[in-house]
Each structure stands twice: as structure tokens, then as C-alpha cells.
Chain A
Amino acid sequence: MTLTLEDTLKWLHGFDATVTAQKAYLSELDTPIGDGDHGNNLARGAAAIEDALGKQEPADLTAALKTIAMALVSKVGGASGALYGTAFLEMAKASRETQEVADLLAAGLAGLQKRGGATTGEKTMIDVWAPVVAAAKAGNLTTQVIDDAVQATKPMKATKGRASYVGDNSIGHLDPGSVSSGYLFSEMLKAGVTA
């Protein structure tokens, strides 16, 4: 299906509410293997998105995705801001050519890979984005696909990102960026966007 402006706003409002509600949990996940600020950073990003969207109703899908990207880039202040911001920026660029959900998410994934230099199996948000994009392309994205991808990061050893500094000690912990990416895609499905 195609992504509309209306669905995008509904999707991001849902994501912002979830991230804000799960702020403490996300930071808790980030404490043993990172710098313990993922929840706080994303909650700041969520507030910035709400603020930016509230100030001026975006004219179209591209404008909305770009507004979301810039709010994340300028207000989050960590890797997650640069990464989520880049993903939405790439989706905004791609949305000038296509509004297909799978194509937009694929553009977002390509942006993440370019910005972070990570690939699958390194215990990063790519481990959720890649299977989600694959499922979306095949037309069978479900909450099960999302949850399985998030859970699969638990036994992985981090070789990219801040968690890579703790090496083997990262094994057995869920990757915080994967958990928040899981929220992003679950909220997309909840907003009625199917892929």
C-alpha cells in the first residue's frame, strides 16, 4: 500500500507516545551495554517531533517526513538521532518518487546502513530494519516478524555501536535501538499502514 500524510501523522503520534511511555525501560536496556540514555534521547526526539508537527501542519508526505527527520537530527544528540534522522531524511527524499511503504522503508534502511556502516548480525537497529523491509517487500509484515527480529538481538554479540565496547558482555541483552525500532514498526501497523 501507499503511505499517506494522514497515516504518517497517526503513525508518528503513536510512536512518540510509546517512546515517551517506555522512556525509562529503553534507558534501562541501554545501561548495561551502552550509555544509558536511549530512552531519554528518544523521548526528547519524540517531544521535538510533536512540537515541530504541531507548529506547522506539513503540506504533504515529503514535508512531514522531512520535518520528522530534522526534529530527530537536531534534538536527540546521540547516535539514535543521527540514525533515525537519516532514515526519515532518506524516506523523505524517496517519497518524491514513490509512496509505496516497502520502498520508503527500504530507502530508510539504506540511509541507516550508509550513516552507521552496520550490517545484519552486529546487534544494531539494522537487525530489525532489515527483516522488516524484507517482509514488507514480500507483503507479509506482521507484529510477529517485528517481535522476532527484536528478540533475535538478545543472543548477539555487538560488533558495532556503543555496545561493541563491552564485547562479549553484550550477549544476553536486547539491543535498545532494536527495541525502539520495534516500537516504530509496531506503531506503523497500529496506524493501519500495512506492508
Chain B
Amino acid sequence: MSLGIIIVSHVDKIAAGVQTLISQVAADVSVTIAGGTDDGGVGTSVEKIQQAISDNKADEILAFYDLGSAKMNLELAQDFSDKPVHLYDVALVEGAYTAAALLQAGVDRTAVEAQLADLKIK
């Protein structure tokens, strides 16, 4: 089963920025993003998150987010999704970067999660 990453942020540029950063170490990992609301404002959108999940080339998703309401909308999208989506309560940048680097190195989800455990912040 292939693993991909989605980034969910309240701000489109944060999501895009994290994607730029982690893609440097993970050229072969599918990274899709959902930043801001449908009308480009600050917030998160269930629809955009669903789109990021379905656009992701992987069939199993590791999801990283910035603040609490992004998590709630992620969980809603998770409820509606056919793909398995795993959420991590870790520092967004460090967590996504760690996961990206490890996925590029070909490690499995259990090993990624072991590394992420140290970055848990919430």
C-alpha cells in the first residue's frame, strides 16, 4: 500500500510553503494540500481537504494540520473518505518533514509513527 501526505492549514500559503519544503526531501512521495477556506480566506474547508485526499496519488494518507479546527475538519473529511487517513497531533512543519523524509527512504507507517511520537505537541 502506498503512503502519501496531506497538509491542512488555515492559510493557503502555509500549506503551500510546507509542501515546497518537504518535497525537497521527498521527490517520490505524493504531497497534496488544503489551505484556507473555499473563498480564499483564513480557515479550513472540508471540501478542499476531501479534494486533497482524492488528488493524492497514494492509497493511504498521513495527514498533518496546524490548529484545532483544521483537525476537526480533517476528521470530518476522514469520516467521508474511502482511503484510510491517519492524523498526527504533531508540530506541523517538523512532523510533515520527518514523515516525508522517512517515506522517501521507504520505511513503513509503523516506523514513521515511532519517529513522530517525539514530535507530539497536542
Interface residue ranges, A against B (CB under 8 Å): 35, 37, 41, 73-83, 85-86, 115-116, 161-162
When chains A and B are docked, how far (Å) is the Cα of A55 from the Cα of B69? 29
When chains A and B are docked, how far (Å) is the Cα of A78 from the Cα of B43? 5
Closest to B67 in A: A162
**B38 interface hit (Cβ, 8 Å):** yes
Name A's interface SS. Answer: helix
Which residues from chain B contact A85 at a C-beta distance below 8 Å?
Answer: 76
When chains A and B are docked, how far (Å) is the Cα of A140 from the Cα of B46? 37
**B44 interface hit (Cβ, 8 Å):** yes
**A83 B44 Cβ-Cβ under 8 A:** no
**A77 B67 Cβ-Cβ under 8 A:** no
**A83 B72 Cβ-Cβ under 8 A:** yes
Interface residue ranges, B against A (CB under 8 Å): 37-38, 41-47, 67-69, 72-73, 75-76
A162 touches which of B38, B41, B69, B75 (Cβ 8 Å):
B69
Interface centre among B46, B47, B69 (most CB of A within 10 A): B69
Which residues from chain A contact B75 at a C-beta distance below 8 Å?
Answer: 82, 115
A37 touches which of B43, B44, B72 (Cβ 8 Å):
B43
**A86 B76 Cβ-Cβ under 8 A:** yes
